Each structure stands twice: as C-alpha cells, then as structure tokens.
Structure 1
C-alpha cells in the first residue's frame, strides 16, 4: 500500500506501508521517495551500505530488547550480532487522508506478535516558497504493553557515539558527502554529532549534480541530541537514547516532532530558513 503527499497537485513524498520489507529489517511504514519541488530525490531506502535504512520514518533499535531498527543488534561485550529480535510497525487505520496531511494509527508488535506500542503519526507537507517545502512529522507513542518499557540504543548498550534511534532521515549518496552546518556557527560532522544545536543542515547533490538542502529543526519542548552521519553515508535524526535509556512506563506516552525544510539549491543562510520553518503553524 502506498499513499501520496502532495502540494498544489504535485507529489512531494510517497508513503509506503513496508509490508514487503524483509522481517530481519524490522518492517515499518516510511516515506520514499521524498522530492524537492524541482523533483530531486532526497531520500534513500534499502541502500547496500545499510539495508535497514528506509527513507524517512521512525526506527528504534532497542525497545526493551526488541529491535524496530532492523539489521544487527549491538550487544555489550559481543558487538553487533544478528538476533531474532525484530519487531514490526503495522498500519491500523487512517484518521486523516488529505493531499497535504495524513494521520495514521500504527501498532508496534514484538517478534511474538504482541503489541508493545500504539502510535499516532501525523505527516504534513507545508508550502514555504517556490524552492522550498516543509515536511512536518509528529509522533505520539503510547505504551500499551501492560508493563514498563524503556528505549535504548547501541550507545546505552556499550558502543560510544551510537545513540541513534527515533525519527530518522536517510539521504542519498552523492559524488561527495554533503556539507554540514548548524546553529551557533557549528560546521562539520564531528562538531554537530551529539550536539543539541537549534538546527542542522545538509547541503548535497544527487548523482546528476542537482543541488539540494535539508534543514532540520525540532519544534516544541524536546530537543534531543542530533545523531549525524555525513562522510560514511548521509543520515540525520534526533536521538531518543543518546547516553541513557529512556523510560516509558506502563500506559505512558512519548511525543516527538521534527520539521525539515526540503529545498532545491544551496541557500546562503540555512539559519534564516530554520527560523522560518520553526514558526510555521
């Protein structure tokens, strides 16, 4: 099943239900392709370097031992091991289906098929200018397991700097790694990885040389550390469990939000763009 997100009649993203994904990759709904207003693709899925990277979505490597990330699991004192611990996110119902907005209910189930989490995901496309549109993602996760849960990451399991997990954007490889900049004059992967910068931008190009820019902002009360890769592969996401496990008590709710400006070309001032998208309704 696929669904389109469009602006003024033009499709800017395709939402896939993930039912055709290998179970070892933690099947889940995701967006791919996401395109600029000029048609340049700015997402990747099933890349050879990380088959479990699926466009734009919500991927968590450790929910009380269950992987909703896919691939291998980092185990303390063992390293990365392929375990039979993969969960899946399954579509339950749409509560809104419009050209520029979709609201979906999802069930997160463990390897035993028992639901652990119930999610309400809101995906919106907002027009900004002739060169830019904004993807607005909101996630509300309820613990429906009947027990206390916690969210972890390879970092919390003993791999320093690998605190990934949460909303995640996998961008495509280009001839060169994308340039990385952020708030406060920060620049480069090393400076921004693990930071809580107000915004972060990737500026890259596709295989034909068409330039694109992605500007990431976390609106609202939560500002998680940024997980960032640029030199090995381009990927960005706020990290739910950067250094410590995140408790999610029985019946509790976790809410996160991410806005991304998707732009043709390379703007002179990504910070100005970040300020604009942070104020959108």
Structure 2
C-alpha cells in the first residue's frame, strides 16, 4: 500500500496535531485530508478516527454530505422519499500544491473530485497552531471553495432534503467517546445550540475542553451530537446553499484546545487571536 503523507503541526515545542494530507482510504468514506490525532498540550487526544459507529468520521475534517450530487461526507446519501441509502457517488479531495508549509502553519490548494475524477470545486485551505497559555492552544482553520466547472456550487445536507435536524456538513470534529458537557453562548445542553447560531460552543470531556469559535454567527447554525457519539460541526449546508457562478464560499473558524476546563483568560485570549 502506498505511504500515507502527513505533516505534523507543532505548538509550544511539541507536536499537537497530525494533518494527513494524502490519505489512503476506501472510497465509501469519501477520502479527504484530516487532522488526527489532535492533542492537548498535555498530550490528551481529543479527536476520534474511523469509529465503528461511523467509519467516515475522520478526526477533524472539512466535508459536506452532497456537493453537486457527489457525496463528500462518506457513508450513505440521504434521498428525499427514500431515506439514507448507499450510492456509488463518493467524491474525494485531492491535494494540488502547497502555498506554505512550516511547523505551525499550512496553506494548501485542493481539488474536490467526483467519483469519475472530474474536478467540481477548487479549495484554498489554511491551518495554523497558536499557543494561548501553558495549558491551551488554538487551531485556526480557513477554507474557500470556488467552482471548477463554470457552474454554480450546490451544497446539500439531509436536513435540506427533509431529514429533521441532520444539517451536518462543513468543518466537522469527531470527539473521543465518553461523557461530554455541551454549552454555548445560547445556553447549556444540546437543545440550546443544535440548529442555532452561537458565537461560541464548548465541549467538555474527561480532562479536556474544546471551544469552537466562528465568524459565521449570522448564517451557519451548529450541528451537535453527544448522546450516541460526540460530534460538532459549523453547518454550512443546514439549508441548501448555492454558490453562484463566479462566487466563492469562505469560512473561518478557531478551536481552543485545553487541558481540563478552559479558563476565562484562555477563552478571552482565544477570541482575540481568532479575530
């Protein structure tokens, strides 16, 4: 089997995330670059990878259920009137070139290909790691999608096709299994944030905390699960999203990754670094 190609992101003198930019995965998981493992500064892993319940959950990655009828999420595709079914429509994301590559920052260009290898979208992606304090660091993520075909980009989710609450798609983070506590600027618990926009969202596990920050407060609701598994997504395709010809889709997010509870000082510093 060909060698997987990866790059280690470092912060405060230690590796905190492995970015696999050329994976070797089955087509049914919609192969794409991913971050795993991502760890706290203390070494606790805060991502889950290809768990038995959802083999297409690849740590932290950028994925959408359907883009111009191609599945870039993995697993089944939701079809209105039929439910979630297996289709031979899985796309993949392919690395094109590096614009920057260093220990704490990456800037990459990718193509989103359909099942036949035709480019549907071009992407510019940036990842960077920033020290916040002795127990927390910040991952910054930015991506821009543009059409590769001269046609509009149409992003879909099961929610947009009629499955209530299933609006996932965008930057998705699969957290490790266990007990989790969810809170956000809109309140505590899943019901206070799932399907709603919020300035920040926090997931607290055993010995670690993730605080998600986004610029898309007015447009992108959060998709949150923590009953059967723990997953968080700033959901670009909660409703059908059309990027017109000549237009682009850009999102910028940050994730504070802390050992133990995230302090108020760390949260404030993270918000300042995110701006």
Into which bin does the TM-score normalised by the smaller protein fall?
Answer: over 0.9
User: Structure 1 unaligned runs (5+)?
Assistant: 206-210
- The TM-score normalised by the length of structure 2 is 0.94
| CA drift at 1:127 | 0.6
Q: Which residue of 2 aligns with 1:219?
A: 215
User: Structure 2 unaligned runs (5+)?
Assistant: none
1:237–1:57 CA distance, 2 compared to 1 (3 A): same
Whether the 8 Å CA contact 1:132–1:264 is kept in 2: the answer is yes
- The TM-score normalised by the length of structure 1 is 0.92
Q: Which residue of 1 aligns with 2:258?
A: 263
Aligned length: 270
Q: Which among 164, 167, 187 is matched to residue 163 of structure 1?
A: 167
Whether the 8 Å CA contact 1:118–1:142 is kept in 2: the answer is yes
CA distance in 1, matches of 2:32, 2:168: 17
Provide the alpha-carbon RMSD of the alignment.
Answer: 1.5
CA distance in 1, matches of 2:234, 2:22: 22
| CA drift at 1:230 | 0.9
Q: Which residue of 1 aligns with 2:97?
A: 93
Q: Which residue of 1 aligns with 2:185?
A: 183
Q: How does 1:227-266 map to 2 (within 5 A)?
A: 227-242=223-238, 244-266=239-261
Q: Is 1:192–2:193 an aligned residue pair?
A: yes
| CA drift at 1:221 | 7.1
CA distance in 1, matches of 2:245, 2:196: 30
| CA offset digits 1:24-57 (Å, max 9, x no partner) | 1100000000000000000011010100000111
Q: Which residue of 2 aligns with 1:208?
A: none
Q: Which residue of 1 aligns with 2:113?
A: 109
| CA drift at 1:96 | 0.5
